[in-house]
Amino acid sequence: MDYKDYYKILGVPRDASEQDIKKAYRKLARELHPDTNPGNKEAEERFKEVNEAYEALSDPEKRKRYDQFGSQYQRYTRGGGNPEDFWQQWAGAQGTGGGARTVSPEEFEQMFGGGGFGSFSDFFQVLFGGGAAQRGGFDSYMGSASRPGRNIEHPVEITLDEAYHGASRVVEGGGERLEVNIPAGVKTGSKVRMAGKGAAGAGGKRGDLFLRIEVLPHPQFEREGDDLRLKLPVDLYTLVLGGEVEVPTLDRPVLLTIPAGTPGSKVFRLRGLGMPDARMKGRNGDLYVEVQVLVPTQLSAEEKDLFQKLRALRVQS
């Protein structure tokens, strides 16, 4: 079984910050995602490796365990040790810890960490617990009693437009490719559950697959719960004299009436034009539009003269 350099897989140094690791993962996941590389087996395998590396390095405890393992492995092999012997010693050290006793499934999760290992390599499973179970760890404690499969979490990024309308993704779960529908109104941190699509159990039912959603920032709209905020440039003449302006939304443009004498930074509330409520179908948040003064530039001589006359009139009054 080969050693996997998760830092090399993500292309980051060993002292990389959590933010650097997340940034590198996002970039690679977008490049290698099966949706953008249909039928490309090499990209699919790299995509799995990138997800496995991020799963290990994004969790502080798993990263600490991985860093400890890496230094021990390098010292062992540099000293002429057999890698296979090292694996056996490592797996054994993660098992009984010296004295055999019966542990509960809950204790086992605390010792080796949760999560689904169905789509991860043997290297990952040995290091973080799944492999220990397969190599005599958990089974030697609990016997051959059936147990359900582990849940699998899969990170998914969607745009704000997709969060508004709903979306679908093709993901790997429990050894199969699945098309998952993401409902409208989801937020960052939301989880979409696919029952029975996680890792297979030992004589028990399969675990579940969870998509962990992250909604990407939008260039125009800022989200606050189910409400949206938009900064809209409006020309000086419309703010002074009044008129109508077109307001973009995530559905379709709408017209907003601007009263005469509207000051800059005035906020208008457009009811029901925000994000859908994921819990209550047919209900939407609101859109808050902050108007910003669009000052005219590159004035002609005649325009400058008219502005000077207007200023003079205002001073006299």
What is d(CA 128, CA 109) in angstroms, rounded to the nearest whole number? 10
Weakest mean pLDDT among 171-185, 239-253, 282-296: 171-185
CB 241 within 8 A of CB 151: no
Provide the residue ranges of all domains of the chain, joining segments of one domain with +: 6-142, 152-215, 221-316
Q: Is the pLDDT of residue 144 over 70?
A: no
**Contact (Cβ atoms closer than 8 angstroms) between residue 171 and residue 155:** no
Domains 152-215 and 221-316 share a fold: yes
Q: Which residues pair with 156 in a beta bridge?
A: 213
Structure-block tokens of residue 84: 């296979």
Cα–Cα distance, 59 to 55 (Å, whole number): 7
User: Which one is predicted more confidently, 41 or 267?
Assistant: 267
- The answer to whether the beta carbons of residues 174 and 149 sit under 8 Å apart is yes
Whether the pLDDT of residue 272 is over 90: the answer is yes
Q: Read off the pTM.
A: 0.55
The fold for domain 6-142 equals: Helix Hairpins (1.10.287)
CATH, domain range 152-215:
2.60.260.20
What's the rounded mean pLDDT across residues 247-267? 96
Residue 194, pLDDT above cutoff 60:
yes
Query: Alpha-carbon distance 317 to 301, whole Å?
Result: 25
Evaluate if residue 238 carries a pLDDT over 90. yes
Do residues 214 and 188 touch, judged by C-beta distance below 8 A? yes
Select the CATH number that applies to the domain covering 221-316 from these four: 2.40.128.20, 2.70.98.60, 1.10.10.10, 2.60.260.20: 2.60.260.20
Query: Does the pLDDT at position 279 exceed 90?
Result: no
Give the confidence band of 83 by pLDDT, cuts at 50, 70, 90: low
Distance CA 154, CA 29 (A): 12
In the 8-state DSSP scheme, what is residue 217? P
**Hey, how many other C-beta atoms are within 10 angstroms of the C-beta on 89?**
13
| Cα end-to-end span (Å), the chain | 87
In 3D, which of 109, 125, 127 has the Cα closest to residue 117?
125
> How is the beta sheet containing 267-270 ordered, strand by strand?
221-224, 227-235, 287-294, 267-270
